[in-house]
Amino acid sequence: MISTPTPGGPGSAARPAGRASVRRLLFPVAVAALGALLAACGGPAASSETGQGSGQGVDTVRVGVIAGSPPGVYSAIENGFFAKERIKVELVTLSGGPALVAATEGGSIDIAWADIFAWTSAIQQGFKLTIINPANALKPGQPVNVIVAKPGSGITSAKDLAGRKLGVPAQALTTVQIKKWLEDQGLDPNGPKYTTVQDRTTSGGLVAQGTLDAAATSGAYVTAWQAQYGLTVAGAFDSGVPDGAATSGYGAKRAYAEAHPDLIKRFVRAVRQGVTAFQSVAPLEQNTLLVKYGGADVGKLESKYPGALQKASAATSGELRGPFDVAAENKWIEIGARYGALKQAIDLTPYLWPTATAANP
């Protein structure tokens, strides 16, 4: 499903999309509504084989993710880091940051991965959440986020996006990056018709069938859609994120973290080990892992599109191994507020759990 936000507002392998329906959806409304729904049906926060929060039991944690992200969690599962920390992970895969944050607030997820703007927006709405660890960041010198379009569409550069329907993921960070990219070139940041695609894996199909004029994507999907639909890259928009800032992070309800402080420490340790292990292996091995958890498979496209695996690796290997750079993070929050992703800038410090700023939790 895709939806078109109000002007200036925040905004598996690739497969052809079915018939798309369009509706207007504002992020805060979506989070509040979904959170209320999930609150009605959310189960217990965590369980342990020897009792909740007890000494040496194995704790079951429901972890919210999207297909193919974040690598740190998948790597920690495969390498046994969660098992070493006495954690059994139950993955809950949803479509994007707003849905994951809402599910966390509602109680059907214990810990979730989501973009920083989704966490911050929910906090500004009064949700009692805490951020426990940073996640994705951009790798310096390796552009990964691009705009794709159909050949012959007339979209070959940033200036061609004015008035055109541009598909963006549900998380607001992509829209913020694009707006800053446009403004840095002297263009109207609100020129494109930003259209939220709830399932980001369908964007290529939506462009191919003409529902969208162009779409923002990254990593494996770039090559996959080139091969499947013949789409071309019209521009790269890796700008605006301060050096050292995380664009996403792991969070939980504050009450959950307060009830399970040792579990939060163990979870963060396992994830950071997972990130280190993932970043230490070759792109083909990274691809194999992500495909297992719903990511697009570009390994088989490498011979036709040399460098495809390296592009995918650049997009997935930026996850931070250590704590937040709080100063850089607050700058990113300010940029998000400037471009409409947040009501206003805030200091994120009071909403960071101690593990988020600890070098060795």
pLDDT in tens, the chain (361 residues): 444 443 333 333 333 333 333 333 333 434 444 444 444 344 444 554 433 444 579 999 999 998 888 999 999 999 999 999 999 999 999 988 889 999 999 999 999 999 999 999 999 999 999 999 999 887 666 667 899 999 999 999 999 999 999 999 877 889 999 999 999 999 999 999 999 998 888 999 999 999 999 999 987 788 889 888 999 999 998 777 888 999 999 999 999 999 999 999 999 999 999 999 999 999 999 999 999 998 888 888 888 888 888 888 877 778 899 999 999 999 999 999 999 999 999 999 999 999 999 999 9
| Pairwise CA distance, residues 165 & 354, whole Å | 42
Provide the CB-side half-sphere exposure for 215 (13 A, CA): 30
Cis ω for the linkage preceding 192 (within 30 of 0): no
Q: Is the dihedral of CA 118, 123, 128, 129 positive or negative?
A: positive
Q: Which pLDDT belongs to residue 318?
A: 80
- For the entire predicted model, the pTM comes to 0.79
Q: Which pLDDT belongs to residue 302?
A: 86
Q: Which pLDDT belongs to residue 140?
A: 62
- Asked if 274 contacts 73 with a C-beta cutoff of 8 angstroms, the reply is yes
- Asked if 112 contacts 101 with a C-beta cutoff of 8 angstroms, the reply is yes
Q: Which pLDDT belongs to residue 55?
A: 55
